[in-house]
Each structure stands twice: as structure tokens, then as C-alpha cells.
Amino acid sequence: MNSQVCIDANLALKLVLVEEDSPKAQHLWDAWVDADVEIVAPPLLAFEGTSVICNRMHRGLVSPEEAELMFKAFHFLGVRLLYPDGLHQRAWELAKRFNRPQAYDSHYLALAEILGLELWTADERLYNVVKHSLSWVRWLGDYQSV
């Protein structure tokens, strides 16, 4: 394994949902796989992904059959879920520092910070809040595929 990268659920979901920037997310993902990069996230990723897919099915945006395929694809992405000591405490501190009303996204920030990794996100709002303070946070929208 050459390296690691941390991702959030917003980016991972782009790989199974059909959205405008899904091709960009797929290209980035493929580049990581080709470079033997291990993709990691906090356990929260599994819960968030499941919830988003379920919500889309509940609202009638995808059929139950499509949702089932999305669910399976999401959980077979091969993201390594990590839960290091101090994750919640650091997420709490980051949520307070950046005045986040909920601490979900701060868990991704905390994991990346604890492990010394880049965090890749497709959440532009989160990126805009932290980009001037956390230089290791990357936004999918800025990714330039070759």
C-alpha cells in the first residue's frame, strides 16, 4: 500500500448515485485505485450512505430495485472504516471551532487530521468553512481530471 486518503460520505455517494459530478468522483476514485491508495473513513460513512440511499427511495427518487443496487454498491466500495482513539473528542473540538451545528462532518475532519491524511469531500459548504484553516481538505469540485 503506497498511501491513504480519507473521504466523506458525500464523495462516496457520488460513486453510486447519478449526479452531475459523479463522473469526476469516479475518475478520482479510479486514480486512487490505480495508484494503490487505501481509502479510509470513520464508521459514520456506512450509516450516512445507507441513510441517504434509503431517503431517496422513501421519497420516490429511486425505485426500491435501484436503491438495493445502490446500497450494495456503496457497501462494496472497499472503504476501510477506522475508529481511532480520540475520534469523537477531536470531532467535537472541530465542530466547535468551525461553528458547525452538527458534528457529523467533523468526524471526517477529525479522522483525516488524526491520521495526517488529506480529506476529500464533495460537500462544498463544509469545504468553504474550513479551506482557509485546514489546507489538507480537498473539494471534489476543484479536482481536475487528466
| CATH code, domain carrying 127 | 3.40.50.1010
Query: Does residue 58 sit within a domain?
Result: no
Query: Does residue 11 sit within a domain?
Result: yes
Range of the domain at 38: 3-45+78-141
What percentage of residues in the chain have a pLDDT greater than 90?
A: 95
Which of 135, 119, 128 is closest to 10 using CA atoms? Answer: 119
Letter string b/e over residues 61-90, b meaning 16 or more CB atoms within 10 A of that residue's CB:
ebeeebbeebbeebeeeebeebeeeebeeb
pLDDT in tens, 1-34: 459 999 999 999 999 999 999 999 999 999 999 9
Query: Does residue 17 sit within a domain?
Result: yes
Give the pLDDT confidence score for residue 146 in this predicted structure. Answer: 55
What percentage of residues in the chain have a pLDDT greater than 70?
A: 97
Give the pLDDT confidence score for residue 144 in this predicted structure. Answer: 85
Mean pLDDT of 91-113: 96
Q: Which residue has the cell 490505480?
A: 34
pLDDT in tens, 52-71: 999 999 999 999 999 999 99
> How far is it, in rounded angstroms, from Cα 62 to Cα 79?
24
